[in-house]
A and B are shown apart, each in its own frame.
Chain A
């Protein structure tokens, strides 16, 4: 059973470009969570999605950031017009059911904005 998959693992963008991060949850998991980890900081919750629905995006910046989890395909975290402060590791986690106590994390995408 493959774990949570994320790609790309590393992404370099220049200021003003768009970044697209992809996450495929574990097989059988329909709940996806995105977290951001800044250097020397803990992981911070960004958004929680189920298939075709955003359940909670309270941790996501209101501008430039969006997320989706379509009926088919991976979940996408999109950052438009990236700035240097967006440089961080972005992790996706999944769980089989809401309220499931343990979330399983992917390897992360490291975004570097030049």
Chain B
């Protein structure tokens, strides 16, 4: 069955450093992969979408890579700030409305 793995342990990094989060998936081939941010008590907020034929995508301090051979996406936040502290969800998605989400990685940026 389809499976998505994100680091279940929280990631603590120092302010100003680059945070790197990993999303691995198995048993299916997504057409695209999305990253969302979720703060406690709030709904997921869309950040970035990368398609299967794209290797990398950037938006301001965010960078996403998508390796369909490794079945992995990496999500980078450069020059991290305490305000970046949140849970980050990945959703590798086929051409369908049924999103499948990972459980998320909790990021804490220390001042």
Contacts and interface: CB of A to CB of B under 8 A. Distances in A.
A45 B89 contact: no
A28 interface: no
A44 B89 CA distance: 13
B43 A102 contact: no
Given A42-B104, A102-B49, A56 B44 contact: no
Interface stretch (B54-62, B72-80, B94-102): B94-102
A69 interface: no
Interface in B36-52: 36, 41-46, 49
Chain A: interface size category: 20 to 34
A31 B98 CA distance: 12
Contacts of B19: none
B10 to A, nearest CB: 13
A17 interface: no
Contacts of B89: 42-43
A42 B103 contact: yes
Q: Which of B32, B41, B43, B99 has the most CB of A within 10 A?
A: B43
Nearest to A46: B98
Given A42-B89, A102-B49, A91 B101 contact: no
